[in-house]
């Protein structure tokens, strides 16, 4: 079946321009996550959605960053007035739900499935 898709795969923009990054999660996955990864670094959490609502926006680095999700499916991450430090790979992931369930032998972890990422370069 189709996995998580992201577009564009690469985006080069000039400093000060706005950019929109798109994520199509796996069908039926209610949870959606955005991460940012700079070259050689680990993943930096940005925001997660449960359905169309975002219970946790704590990772957004500044008010230039915003995200929305419509119809419990597609999500868009928007970066306004881009800066050179925004250059990174932006990864999207989805899971059945953010909540794991059960304990012990009955534990069910809803693993996150990642897309290929969007490489953003701000000149």
Partner 1 sequence: LAKTTQPISMDSYEGQEVNITCSHNNIATNDYITWYQQFPSQGPRFIIQGYKTKVTNEVASLFIPADRKSSTLSLPRVSLSDTAVYYCLVVPNRDDKIIFGKGTRLHILP
Task: Name the site residues for partner 1 (rule: CB under 8 A).
Answer: 4, 33, 35, 41-43, 45, 48, 50, 55-56, 91, 93, 98-101, 103-104, 107, 109, 111-117
Residues facing 68 on adjacent strands: 76
Kindly tell me which of 71 and 104 has the beta carbon lying closer to partner 1: 104
Whole-number minimum distance, CB 118 to partner 1, in Å?
Answer: 11
Kindly tell me which of 21 and 117 has the beta carbon lying closer to partner 1: 117
Whole-number minimum distance, CB 72 to partner 1, in Å?
Answer: 17
Kindly tell me which of 14 and 53 has the beta carbon lying closer to partner 1: 53
Distance between CA 96 and CA 46 in Å, rounded?
A: 19
Residues facing 23 on adjacent strands: 6, 75
Whole-number minimum distance, CB 16 to partner 1, in Å?
Answer: 28
Tokens of 77: 């991450």
Q: CA 18: distance to chain centroid?
A: 17
Whole-number minimum distance, CB 82 to partner 1, in Å?
Answer: 22
Residue 24 belongs to what H/E stretch?
strand 19-24
**71 with 25: CB under 8 angstroms?**
no
């Amino acid at each position: 079946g189709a996995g998580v898709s992201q577009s564009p795969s690469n985006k080069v923009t000039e400093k000060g321009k706005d950019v929109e990054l798109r994520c199509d999660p796996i069908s039926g996955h209610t949870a959606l996550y955005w991460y940012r990864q700079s070259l050689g670094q680990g993943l930096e959490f940005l925001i997660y959605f449960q359905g169309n609502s975002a219970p946790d926006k704590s990772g957004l680095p500044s008010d230039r960053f915003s995200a929305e999700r419509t119809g419990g499916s597609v999500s868009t991450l928007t970066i306004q007035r881009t800066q050179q430090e925004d250059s990174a790979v932006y990864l999207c992931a989805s899971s059945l739900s953010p909540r794991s369930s059960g304990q012990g032998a009955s534990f069910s972890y809803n693993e996150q499935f990642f897309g290929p990422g969007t490489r953003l370069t701000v000149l």
